[in-house]
A = this chain, B = another copy of it.
Amino acid sequence: MEYPSKLIEDAVNEVSKLPGIGKKTALRLVLHLVKENENRTLALTESLNKLRTNIKFCKTCFNISDEDECSICRSHRRDKSVLCIVEDCNDVMAIENTSQYIGVYHVLGGVISPMNGIGPSELKIEQLVSRLTQKIEVKEVILALSPTMEGDTTAFYINRKLKDLNLKVTSISRGVSVGSDLEYADEITLGRSITGRVLFD
């Protein structure tokens, strides 16, 4: 597509590098900013710059945090004997939103994915092992990774790494979604939910 201005073209190119945003959406967003007050664009770019420059990660669990240690790790009301391993910060947010978990977290920062050039060393797995070796208060580790090939690979890898630490390693349960119809569940999920059936209580 030909753009009426080099400025538009540059902006569209940058915006379309964001995930899930193609050239058409990028153009729509950029033209929206052009139409609106200049202060809107300034507020947007300032908030993004500020975020990227000042963002901190918790030194214990590697979750995003405003302080050196995040509010979950600092809290005395959290159960420090249970540690939930997640891929990303949004997984922490998702689990926190359920209000069903009172333990602490460890954010890996990704999953093992040779296709994308991400090996175990790119993730916070070494830090996890040393954290678990130093802090003997942790009794159970919950693997809460995505039910994908990459997630499963990462779970296997971590499980093997933690073998000698004498911990209870669990995984979040997989099965049919609550509230959904059985006929809409895919075969693999449904199959797994049968082989992995639990006692009715």
Contact = CB atoms under 8 A, between A and B. Distances in A.
A180 to B, nearest CB: 20
A161 to B, nearest CB: 23
A20 B31 contact: no
Interface string A1-36: 111111110110111011111000101111111110
Contact of A5 (B40, B43, B47, B64): B64
A48 interface: yes
A51 B33 contact: yes
A17 B2 contact: no
Contact of A51 (B28, B30, B43, B50): B30
B6 A66 contact: yes
A30 B29 CA distance: 16
A183 interface: no
Nearest to A45: B45
A28 B34 contact: no
Listed residue (A45, A49, A93) with the most chain B CB atoms within 10 angstroms of its CB: A45
Contact of A50 (B7, B15, B43, B109): B7
A35 B64 CA distance: 11
Interface stretch (A52-60, A125-133, A141-149): A52-60
Contacts of A28: 19-20, 90
A8 B20 CA distance: 19
Contact of A34 (B4, B33, B38, B51): B51
A169 interface: no
